């Protein structure tokens, strides 16, 4: 099936959707990127062009490859434009209600042969699939952030995902230059099941005054060889995304150890969502990065 994938629809033009669209266009696919919000699309368009231009200036790709990638990209706010896509990847906000509503709509307009993939970090693929009439063609395709750079895709099989859908998604992931790991459909899958409790624990360490944010991050960077500390990584992912995933882990796995840290909740309530908002645990409004108390 994957050999016949020519056009990929990407839904949600935020940090993940724009990165997935860029990646797919650079690997030769026609891409249609949809967002409800036209402002999000113009932000996506400029972030894709600065990212691609950066790759050209560092000689990672040629000017010709960059121009070809731009030509393959379309931006739209009209869902019907995805009716010609062979494969659809959704990367809208991490909300089960929003994603389910979208899957109902996609199921109605997408080609009957199209696979519907979700980039969800933690929401049950089985439940998303059950809102469609084609659960065998629904699958989790969890890219890491940023998608053009990170080498991994975590594929998540829902209860009804067919072997054919799995094989096509794996082949597509490999055509996008990624290594694949496979997870069963349990809260948090593999990566976030392990990563998010660590980030949440870092918030608890900060909340209970064990140490400063800088020492928590330095401790994990130099003490465990992580490229980023957990608090700066949380800012990079988005604190709202981290909180949503912790809530899914808490509800799905039912243990108190997954309860979101009150400090994480408070930051999200205050709109301190991380790097995308200019402030999270750290303040990004000034250069070099400084701390807002
Ligand atoms: P984001 O907040 O940057 O972007 C979400 C976009 O979805 C926004 O532009 C919004 O306008 C759009 N949107 C919302 N509802 C929509 C709808 N019904 N139709 C079309 N567009 C809609 O979020 P981000 O960080 O890109 O995350 C998106 C998804 O990717 C989430 O499921 C998240 O859990 C997952 N993810 C996030 C990672 C991260 O590091 N931020 C890593 C891996 C997965």
The pLDDT value recorded for residue 146 is 94
User: Residue ranges of the domains in the chain?
Assistant: 2-184, 194-277
Q: What is the largest CA-CA distance in the chain?
A: 55
User: Is 99:122 a contact under the CB 8 Å cutoff?
Assistant: no
| Helix or strand run (H / E) with residue 254 | none
Report the alpha-carbon distance of residue 284 to residue 151 in Å, rounded.
27
| Helix or strand run (H / E) with residue 242 | helix 239-253
Q: How far is the CA of 90 from the centre of ligand 1 (A)?
A: 8
Question: Which atom of ligand 1 is nearest the CA belonging to 18?
Answer: 26
* Pocket-forming residues, ligand 1, beta carbon under 6 Å: 11-17, 34-37, 40, 91-94, 98, 102, 119-121, 142-143, 145, 237-238, 241
CA-to-CA separations, 57 to 44, 52, 264, in angstroms, rounded:
20, 9, 38
Q: For residue 291, is pLDDT > 90? A: no
For the stretch 271-290, pLDDT in tens is 999 999 999 999 999 765 54
In this prediction, residues 109-125 reach a mean pLDDT of 96
Phi-psi region of 177 (alpha: psi -120 to 50; beta: other; left: phi over 0): left
Q: How far is the CA of 12 from the centre of ligand 1 (A)?
A: 6
In this prediction, residues 139-164 reach a mean pLDDT of 97
Question: Which atom of ligand 1 is nearest the CA belonging to 102?
Answer: 18
- Tell me if domain 2-184 and domain 194-277 are identical in fold: no
Question: Which atom of ligand 1 is nearest the CA belonging to 92?
Answer: 7
For the stretch 49-107, pLDDT in tens is 999 999 999 988 899 999 999 999 999 999 999 999 999 999 999 999 999 999 999 99
For the stretch 184-240, pLDDT in tens is 999 999 999 999 999 999 999 999 999 999 999 999 999 999 999 999 999 999 999
Model's pTM, two decimal places?
A: 0.91
What is the fold, at CATH topology level, of the domain defined by 194-277? 1.10.1040
Residue nearest to atom 3 of ligand 1 (CA): 14
* CATH class of residue range 2-184: alpha beta
Q: How far is the CA of 91 from the centre of ligand 1 (A)?
A: 5
Start-to-end CA span in the chain (Å): 53
């Amino acid at each position: 099936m994957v050999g016949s994938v020519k056009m990929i629809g990407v839904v949600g033009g935020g940090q993940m959707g724009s990165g997935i669209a860029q990646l797919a266009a650079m690997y030769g696919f026609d891409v249609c990127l949809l967002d409800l919000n036209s402002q999000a699309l113009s932000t996506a368009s400029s972030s894709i062009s600065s990212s691609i231009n950066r790759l050209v200036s560092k000689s990672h790709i040629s000017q010709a490859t960059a121009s070809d990638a731009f030509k393959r990209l379309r931006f739209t706010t009209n869902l019907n434009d995805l009716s010609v896509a062979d494969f659809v990847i959704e990367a809208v906000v991490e909300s089960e209600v929003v994603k389910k509503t979208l899957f109902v709509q996609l199921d109605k307009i997408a080609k009957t042969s199209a696979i519907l993939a979700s980039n969800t970090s933690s929401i049950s693929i089985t439940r998303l699939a059950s809102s469609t009439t084609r659960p065998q063609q629904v699958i989790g395709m969890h890219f890491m952030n940023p998608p053009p750079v990170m080498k991994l895709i975590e594929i998540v099989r829902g209860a009804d995902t067919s072997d054919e859908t799995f094989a096509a998604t794996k082949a597509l992931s490999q055509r996008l230059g990624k290594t694949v790991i496979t997870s069963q459909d349990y809260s948090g899958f593999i990566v976030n099941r392990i990563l998010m409790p660590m980030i949440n624990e870092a918030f608890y360490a900060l909340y209970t005054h064990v140490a400063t944010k800088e020492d928590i991050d330095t401790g994990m960077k130099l003490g465990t060889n992580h490229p980023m500390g957990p608090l700066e990584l949380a800012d990079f992912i988005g604190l709202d995304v981290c909180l949503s995933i912790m809530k899914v882990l808490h509800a799905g796995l039912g243990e108190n150890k997954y309860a979101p840290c009150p400090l994480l909740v408070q930051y999200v309530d205050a709109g301190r969502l991380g790097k995308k908002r200019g402030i999270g645990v750290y303040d990004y409004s000034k250069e070099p990065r400084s701390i807002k108390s």
